[in-house]
Amino acid sequence: MQFDFTTAPDRRGHDALAIDSIGMDPTAPAAPRAGFDAIPMWVADMAFKTCPAVTEAIGRRLAQPHFGYFEPREEYLSAILSWQCDRNGVTGLEPRHVGYENGVLGGLVSALAALASPGDSVLVHSPTYIGFTKSISNAGYRIVSSPLVLDEEGMWRMDFDDMERRLVESRAHVAVFCSPHNPCGRVWERAEIERAMEVYAAHDVMVISDEIWSDIIRPGLVHTPTQSVSDDARRRTVALYAPSKTFSLAGLVGSYHIIYDDYLRDRVDACASKSHYNMMNVLSMHALMGAYSEEGRAWADELRAVIAENVDLACDVIDERFDGVDVVRPQGTYMIFPDCSAWCARHGKTLDELLAAGWDVGVGWQDGRPFHGAFNIRMNLALPAARLEEALDRLDRYVFNPR
Ligand SMILES: Cc1ncc(COP(=O)(O)O)c(C=O)c1O
């Protein structure tokens, strides 16, 4: 390994929501009891340091002590174009197709404003990322959920008939598509995306495709951009990307959209720009240029391998030692979403009791119910393997198999 994924900076007192809000905020894990330190495994950011190329790029810019109004650099756009070409096989992407967004969720809300009116229905898949649920309903839209289903091999699949039925019933003309899927971790196959896009096209549904997790997939798998599956998909889709998940940059803020259709792009830009708040931060621009460099590519490749090893470690331990806990091995993201219904039933425990038992010994895992998993827990595996082993060991000894 060229880069360090075995140590993690001590983030305590350094503005990390994942650690500083433990025990302080009702939505955060409760504080551990004496003798246990907290291992944060909830907020979707990583315990690792960012890529050195990112800190170097920010450092070079910080050496110029002026932070006035600025124009995005040509290198910012060309970094995105070459990243999308090299990593996702995107062809024909031009600078004009790319636009800055403060955050992926902000981009989602701007796109919704361009495509629907408050009160209108929006189709999502369920389980659903909590940020979708909150931002779509807070902006006044009605969420229509089409459940993903587990097939005989234990793979999450879209139910195209169900999607079709719900689109017709609700008269929804916008769908939010999450690829790879959070929290289920599916990296959709091209044929599945093609079929979904045919369903959307057949019912005149515009698509907001959140591809924020596209860089974090198992080595050997490929991310298929939604816009790449057909000419119609290219025109019908607002795609949202960011370096934030991949490089631990969420605190710097900065994502981007890709919209090929001129009319659609103008409408989304119009909605996004009116507030004058959707403006780039000069340091986040330099951070992206560092992230999308040659070194950033090498770092992201190593990260993918590290995450895959952590996923295997956690899923193997769960399969072998946590009887009654069912986990689907994710193909992408660094999240797992184990279903604890059988364990809870067998031990006469509620999910709240189970969550609290983990928090008590410092495992800062997350309630899966707001993601629409009735007995699921969501766990972030982007941490050094030694810390993950420690968390799994505590879960074994004190929570699932107390001795
Ligand atoms: C699927 C998905 N979309 C969007 C976000 C948040 O993106 P942003 O912070 O850019 O709004 C997350 C964060 O976990 C996510 O998982």
**Minimum CA distance residue for ligand 1 atom 14:** 44
Predicted confidence at residue 276, as pLDDT, reads 86
Span 277-308, pLDDT tens digits: 899 999 999 999 999 999 999 999 999 999 99
* Cα 395 to ligand 1 centre (Å): 28
* Cα 131 to ligand 1 centre (Å): 7
Residues facing 150 on adjacent strands:
156
Span 217-244, pLDDT tens digits: 999 999 999 999 999 999 999 999 999 9
**Minimum CA distance residue for ligand 1 atom 9:** 103
Query: Of all atoms in ligand 1, which is nearest to the CA of residue 45?
Result: 14
Query: Does this model's pTM top 0.85?
Result: yes
Query: Of all atoms in ligand 1, which is nearest to the CA of residue 244?
Result: 10
Mode of pairing for the β-strands spanning 237-241 and 206-210: parallel
Q: What's the pLDDT band for 403 if we cut at 50, 70, 90?
A: confident
Q: What's the pLDDT band for 153 if we cut at 50, 70, 90?
A: very high
**Minimum CA distance residue for ligand 1 atom 7:** 104
How far is Cα 132 from Cα 108, in angstroms, rounded to an integer? Answer: 9
E strand intervals along 164-214 = 174-178, 206-210
Span 22-79, pLDDT tens digits: 999 989 999 999 999 999 999 999 999 999 999 999 999 999 999 999 999 999 999 9
Please count the CA atoms within 13 angstroms of the CA of 279 that sit on its side-chain side: 9
Ligand 1: list residues with CB < 6 Å: 44, 103-105, 129, 131, 178, 182, 210, 212, 242, 244, 250, 255
Spatial CA neighbour of 48 closest among 7, 3, 12, 2: 7
Query: Of all atoms in ligand 1, which is nearest to the CA of residue 213?
Result: 1
Q: What's the pLDDT band for 164 if we cut at 50, 70, 90?
A: very high
Share of the chain above pLDDT 70, in %: 100
Q: What's the pLDDT band for 1 if we cut at 50, 70, 90?
A: confident
Extract the tokens encoding 157.
Answer: 């699949």
Task: Return the residue matching tokens 């005989």.
Answer: 152
**Minimum CA distance residue for ligand 1 atom 2:** 212
Query: Of all atoms in ligand 1, which is nearest to the CA of residue 242?
Result: 10
* Cα 182 to ligand 1 centre (Å): 9
Mean pLDDT of 144-149: 98
Predicted confidence at residue 275, as pLDDT, reads 86
Query: Of all atoms in ligand 1, which is nearest to the CA of residue 333?
Result: 16
Predicted confidence at residue 75, as pLDDT, reads 97
* Cα 35 to ligand 1 centre (Å): 34
Predicted confidence at residue 55, as pLDDT, reads 98
- Answer yes or no: is pLDDT of 274 > 90: no
How far apart, in Å, are the Cα atoms of 402 and each of 313, 352, 399? 21, 17, 6
Contact partners, residue 201, CB within 8 Å, separation at least 6: 232, 233, 236
CA dihedral 108, 110, 114, 118 (to 10 degrees): 80
- DSSP conformation letters of 296-310: HHHHHHHHHHHHHHH
Query: Of all atoms in ligand 1, which is nearest to the CA of residue 106?
Result: 11
**Minimum CA distance residue for ligand 1 atom 13:** 44
Query: Of all atoms in ligand 1, which is nearest to the CA of residue 102?
Result: 10
* Cα 323 to ligand 1 centre (Å): 32
* Cα 3 to ligand 1 centre (Å): 25
* Cα 291 to ligand 1 centre (Å): 18
Please count the CA atoms within 13 angstroms of the CA of 257 that sit on its side-chain side: 30
Contact 325, 342 (CB under 8 A): yes
Counting ligand 1 atoms within 8 A of each CB, the residue from 182, 252, 335 with the most, and so the one to mutate, is: 182
Contact 358, 32 (CB under 8 A): no
Counting ligand 1 atoms within 8 A of each CB, the residue from 245, 248, 288 with the most, and so the one to mutate, is: 245
